[in-house]
Structure 1
Amino acid sequence: MTEQTIKEGKTLAIVSYMTFVGLIIAIIMNLEKKNPFTSFHIRQMLGLILMLLVSNVSEQYINSWLGTVLWTITFVSWLFGLYNAIQGSDKPIPVVGEYFQEWFRNIN
C-alpha cells in the first residue's frame, strides 16, 4: 500500500477498533472510498468480534477458565490490531489474522 492510501484510511482504521459501533461507522464511511488500508483493519476487527463471541460462549457454556483465557487472547489481539492501525501498518493479527482476511474478503 502507498503512504497516501495509509494516510487517507488511518482514521477510519482506528475508528473500526472502537467497539462494535465504531466498526459499523467505519464500514459505512468506507463504502464509497473503499480504502484498502481501512478495509484490512475492518476485516481484522470483524474477526476479533467473532473471537469475542467464541470466548463468551465458551465461558458461559463450556468452562469459565477457558472463556477467560480466550477473552484475554482476544484482548491482546485487539491491542495488537489497534497498535498497527495507529502505526499505519497492515500486519495481520498473529495466527488468525490471515484467516480473517480470507473469510471477510468480500468486505471492501
Structure 2
Amino acid sequence: MRYKAMEKQQNTLINHHLSSACNSDKSIKLSDMSKLISVLSYLTLFGWILAMFLYGQQKSEFSRFHLRQSLGLIITAALLTLIPLIGWFVSIMLCLIWIFCVYQALIGNIYKLPILGDFFQKNLDFID
C-alpha cells in the first residue's frame, strides 16, 4: 500500500512538471507506455518506426513531443554527417545529445533542444 501511495505521489509530481514544461494549464497523464514510446523513438530509425506504430495505439502529448524531436534529430544527423571534415565531430556531439534526450524521456521530462527544438515541434506537425 505504501508503495502505491508513493508511486501515485511521484506520478502527480511528474505530471505537474510536464504540465509546467509544456507551458499549458492541462495536466498530462504519463503512463509507462508513453515513456516506452518516447524512449524507443530515439533508438535509430527502426525504433522510431516502431514507436510510431505504438503511438497509433496509444496517443499522448508526451509521446508526440518526443516523436517529433527524435525524428528531427535523425534528419539533422543524416544531413550533418554528410559534411566531410566535421562529420565525425558532429556525430559524437549528436550521440551525446541522443543519450541526453533518451534520459530525459526515461525520467518523464519534456526537454526542448535549445536551437532546433521549436523548429522540430512546429514543422514536424504531421505527427498528430
TM category (shorter chain) comes to 0.7 to 0.9
Pick one of 95, 102, 105 that aligns with 2:122.
Answer: 102
Larger Rg: 2
Aligned residues: 103
SS of equivalent to 2:81: helix
Pick one of 39, 48, 51 that aligns with 1:14.
Answer: 39
TM-score, reference length from structure 2: 0.71
Paired with 2:87 and 2:28, the residues of 1 have a C-alpha distance of 39
Q: For residue 6 of structure 1, report the CA deviation from its aligned partner.
A: 5.1
User: RMSD of aligned C-alpha atoms?
Assistant: 1.7
Q: Which structure shows the bigger proportion of residues in helix conformation?
A: 1
Paired with 1:73 and 1:96, the residues of 2 have a C-alpha distance of 14
Return 5+ residue gaps in structure 1 as ranges. none
Among all aligned residue pairs of Structure 1 and Structure 2, give the percentage whose two residues are the same amino acid: 27
SS of equivalent to 1:49: helix
TM-score, reference length from structure 1: 0.83
Corresponding residue for residue 28 of structure 1:
53
Paired with 2:93 and 2:126, the residues of 1 have a C-alpha distance of 26
Return 5+ residue gaps in structure 2 as ranges. 1-18, 20-26
* Superposed structure 1 runs of 4+ greater than 2 Å apart: 1-8
